[in-house]
Amino acid sequence: MTTCKREVVAALEQAIAQRIGEPRYQLWFPNKTKFAWHDGQLRVGVPNHFYQEWLKKQFADVIRAVASEVAAEPIDVQFVIDPELFQEARREEAAAKPVALVAQLAKTVQQDIPGPPPPDDDRPRPDPKPRQRSTRRWRHLHDFVVGPCNRVAHASALSAVEAPAQGPNPLVLHGPVGTGKSHLLEGIYAGLRKGHPEWRVVFATAEEFTNRFLPALRIGKLASFRNHFRECDALLLDDLHFLATKRATQEEFLHTFNALQTEGKPVVVTCDCHPRLADLFVPELTDRLLGGAIWGLMQPDTQTRLELLKAKVGRQHGQLIPEPVLRFLAEKLHGNVRELEGALHSVQHYSRVAGRPVDLGLARDALGDLLRHSVRVFRLEDVDRAVCSALRLETGALQSKQRNWSQAHPRMLAIYLARKHTSATYTEVGAYFGGRNHSTAVAAEKKVKQWVTENGPLQLGERAIPVREVLELAERELSR
């Protein structure tokens, strides 16, 4: 077959679209590739080397299998630069240069330009439209409120500033929303800029990393993108979990991290959970993250909440709130920092509108709905659902009477959480989770408390995860 007839090309294109899905096919193939047959070989014309590398990596096996089916014989596939597609790509690149120039001018010092709303996959999006931003006010480590829930993470952040080239690499800070991960990351950035003014420190969110990478891939400007992120002296990336479903961007970040680590340059990332629990990360990325230092931040305890409220009132320079009111809020509100900030704003605003001084009565009136909603009544079913969701177990697994460790250990965790978050008795908890008796439920709770004290690893199949991380994840699922 020396030339490709239209019907053969149409059959090939249709088969590829069916194999990979119409949306992905429309994104990568029409007007971007050309097919041609040459002596039993299928040549796939592409516009540039970057596109060639990407397409070959993602779709070579699919194209080879589909071509062999269409031709009814084994077909070799070769990716080549097509002159016409190359020229068209150059014209698109030339048209994009003015936009890139404006984006460069619009950047503030070491700041990335925010992109459009986060994409839900790895499909290239149009270049983000640049806009001027006012200079960002970075938070600092010295105004971070330290408590039992975050003391180790805060100490690791201080160490990253004081001895950036001597600590583990990468440094991973993880925890639920509103526990201070971004504050610590910004504090590291501000500290490095102050302590090493000659350094080029890059701070970006994972969303910004994605929104810069995908257009660079589309228009063949990966070299510029990589220079920005790989030629820096330190890279700080916020919300790494944003990359969970974006394999191509994860791999690009992995290569970026490898390049920086090879040169001894520090990398600090934040994530919403321990890397071992991030099932949607590619294994190579998880492995790299586990090779560094990983510290968690938890929801603040009562005393830390009180200190947070005092710090917020002091920085607001607004109406003072009596300490009894602050203590009342710290005891009644069990949410994160943002919920505490919102409660303060509500109390102060209500005081101004009502023309009343701030006291306990006013606080109760201002936060009536919030206080009612902060007291949740959990059932055994809620605990069951949360643990199954956190550990990816099938519904009903914790009520099974089986005694193998893959189910016994999660069941013990569920019993511990049930005693902590519900009003159920030992007998009721044991009966619900596998028909256990009172003494078995007591023993399970005691064992888990020992695990928590030692923070030993919990073996779950092939995964060994610190027990505190598992409990934290389950309690986050419980609170949803």
| Domain spans of the chain, in order of start | 6-86, 141-296, 302-374, 380-479
Q: Over the chain, what is the mean pLDDT? A: 81
Q: How far apart are CA 92 and CA 297, in angstroms?
A: 46
pLDDT tens digits along 343-389: 888 888 888 888 888 888 888 888 876 666 554 567 888 898 888 88
Is the pLDDT score of 6 beyond 80?
no
pLDDT tens digits along 89-136: 777 666 544 444 334 433 322 333 333 333 334 444 444 444 444 477
Lookup: tokens for 269: 């990332």
Q: How far apart are CA 183 and CA 200, in angstroms?
A: 20
Q: What is the pLDDT of residue 376?
A: 58
> In this structure, are residues 150 and 298 in contact, taking their beta carbons and an 8 Å threshold?
yes
Q: How far apart are CA 1 and CA 14, in angstroms?
A: 19
Which has more confidence, 186 or 438?
A: 186
CATH no. of 141-296? 3.40.50.300
CATH no. of 380-479? 1.10.1750.10
Is the pLDDT score of 440 beyond 60?
yes
What is the mean predicted confidence (pLDDT) over 294-320? 80
The residue among 409, 406, 376 whose CA lies nearest residue 478 is 376
Q: How far apart are CA 321 and CA 311, in angstroms?
A: 12
60-74, 75-89, 156-170, 335-349: which is most confident: 156-170
Q: What is the pLDDT of residue 62?
A: 87
Is the pLDDT score of 32 beyond 50?
yes
CATH class of 6-86: alpha beta
pLDDT > 90 fraction of the chain, expressed in percent and rounded: 24
DSSP 334-381: -S-HHHHHHHHHHHHHHHHHHT----HHHHHHHTHHHHHHHS----HH
**Fold exhibited by the domain 302-374:** Helicase, Ruva Protein; domain 3 (1.10.8)
pLDDT tens digits along 265-276: 999 999 988 888
* Amino acid symbol at 442: V
Buried b (16+ CB within 10 A) or exposed e, 369-396: ebbeeeeeebebebbbbbbbbbbebeee
Q: What is the pLDDT of residue 373?
A: 53
For the ranges 75-89, 142-156, 303-317, 360-374, which has the lowest average pLDDT? 360-374
pLDDT tens digits along 387-409: 888 888 888 888 877 666 667 88
pTM above 0.85, yes or no: no
